[in-house]
Structure 1
Amino acid sequence: MTKTTVPSLDGVDLARLPKVSLHDHLDGGLRPQTIIDLAREIDLELPADNADDLAQWFLDQCNAGNLVDYLKTFDLSTAVMQSEAGLRRVAHEFVLDLAEDGVIYAEIRWAPEQHLTRGLSLDQVVEAVQAGLEDGVTEVRESGRDIEVGQLITAMRHADRALEIAELAVRHRDRGVSGFDIAGAEDGFLPSRHREAFDYLAKNFFPVTVHAGEAAGLESITSAIFDGRALRLGHGVRLAEDVTVERSDDDEVYVNIGRLSEWVRDREIVLELSPSSNMQTGAVAAWGDELEDHPFDMLHQLGFRVTVNVDNRTMSGTSLTRELGLLVETFGYDLEDLETFQLNAAAGAFLPLEDREYLVEQIQAGFDAVRE
């Protein structure tokens, strides 16, 4: 799916680096050929009849510069994910693609309520995806590699099923589900709309990440933290609106961090940044239209717990390896920086403490191995 040559770093193949993926949408990462195969089974008309052209169509459609148009492409991917077999295949292949990308731990988010048009129940679709994920994990391990995955059950923020979806997530917490999220059109749909669901999750000690700070700004982030009790911010890139940088007449640089951004930084709330996607959706338009304008580096330098993510592999024609390569090219990061991003992600993973500590050990060992 990669459309750009991925640079190496000091001769190191970035694909070899162990990675943690926290913000990876299942319905945004289908293989184009799989879409074609599944569409044929249900007589669904596609904008292209071969995998390469379909992949390019997704890229072209997603470069609209706003989240609303970007999200329209999901009508096509979700349309072929309405049967147990289709969901299981997509989830299985998703894990294989993660492993090829060097991912050793991933939380895969998706919205069960969008996969019910052919008569499946909410529990059935969750079980179908879990079966596919387990198929993928088994195949990866049989190939001599290792990977762990979990589901992030997502509610659509413009709908009114958040409490029902929260209950679904908790119901499957010991059967593959790691956490809860809300997604969809962000602007005009604050997390406070779903306060009852978030209260229920808090009472059940269930971890939450919230899409915030992408298509909407600081009010959305504030609501994610206050109403949603979010441990992570899905994107959160517009938190940079709460940071001002001033240069004095004698060329001294002064950085002012607002109360909200100070809270996020000091409490190490994870930012799930997705560089390519953030450019496509216009999330960083206030700072410019080139990757070098993305506030990723500023947030990193100021000590925020930044992580690198793909958001949607198919829509952005990307991989986690490619995203790291783009950041290396743009900001001159070294292996220590890339390792920090993975350790940040490991620290924010919705895992028990002991498992997070083991994940940290795996990351450190993997980076040490490529340095030898």
Structure 2
Amino acid sequence: MLNIKTLTATALGLAMLTSAAMAQTVIRVQSVIPAKADEVFMLEDFAKDVSDLTDGSLQIEVLPAGAIVGVAETLDAVDAGLIEGGFAWTHYWSGKHPAAMLFGSPVAGAGVGIDNIAFVSWFQYGGGKELYDQLWKEMGVNVKGFMLQPVGPEALGWFKEPITSMDDFRKYRFRTPPGIPGQTYKDIGIASVAMGGGDILPALEKGTIDAAEWCCPKPDSVFGFQKVLKHYYLQGLHQVVVNADLYINGDVYEGLSDREKKALEVAANASLSKSMSYRIFENGKALKDLTENQGVILHDTPEDYFKEYMDAARASLEKNAEENAFFAEVWQSQKDFAEIAVPFWAGAQTSNANLGRAFADSIAK
């Protein structure tokens, strides 16, 4: 027979469980990419950190691309509250404001040599986060953004035959990202064709395009570029930095407790580091498999590419800065940061790059 103490304890426990269940908030986050993508894997890791930090009171449910709205409608759906959250690259929304590119994919390292690690430094300590928060107001959307996954640099891409100069490069119809990075290729005479990720391999197989870029060894191998192209170039400038971000409806965010807001912030900061760590190892494994088992030949990008692309990228950045005050403000912040940080970081990275290249050459023999 149960005594009164046992009944009381049981009732209290049930009440606490009920209260906890009632207090739980679920944020549905629709991604713009398939559920098996590495970015979604890392988003799920972020979601687990948030749950752990809040003892389960805040849950993030990741939905695949197109689950509720189309990919292109993701940010608008978050703004309107049709979904509580979205996950994408912020340069996807450059049509709403050109400065979105400076956060999601600052072309050619913002024209000032900012790589993905230096970008995180600018974001966290150089004034970038405050400007990022202002971006949503400039767009006129009711959104709270969290930068989660800085990746880079992206590979130049895949070709049918080796290219030794820009003259060789200009012979190809080349898939590029939309917006300023793709336009910059057009500005230097490349037959740039913007298309979605799912359309690239069929276009290569049909001959609609005959060269392409997407990201890095792991995502590229998942897409299957190696099935139709064998010449691969790692060094590119079009997306030296690429950031995948989380967007939460502003009203939903304001309805969270202080602890839940802090958990999002802490988990996001952790994700900035964890995603870079994860991608270095995963891309390393993928590149090893591509070159050792799938007949892919790795090349260095032609030297004349870098000056041509950088000059065109800077001209595009300057044009956008002349036309939009907030774009100019963000770019000036990046230039001010680069003036201080890049001479140090580039010098240090030269030592690291030379050391790494020496080791890579030694194991290739």
Q: More helix per residue: 1 or 2? A: 2
Instruction: Output the TM-score relative to the length of structure 2.
Output: 0.30
Taking CA–CA contacts closer than 8 Å with sequence separation of 6 or more, which of the two structures ends up with the larger relative contact order?
2
Q: Which protein is bigger by CA-based radius of gyration?
A: 2
Instruction: Output the TM-score relative to the length of structure 1.
Output: 0.30
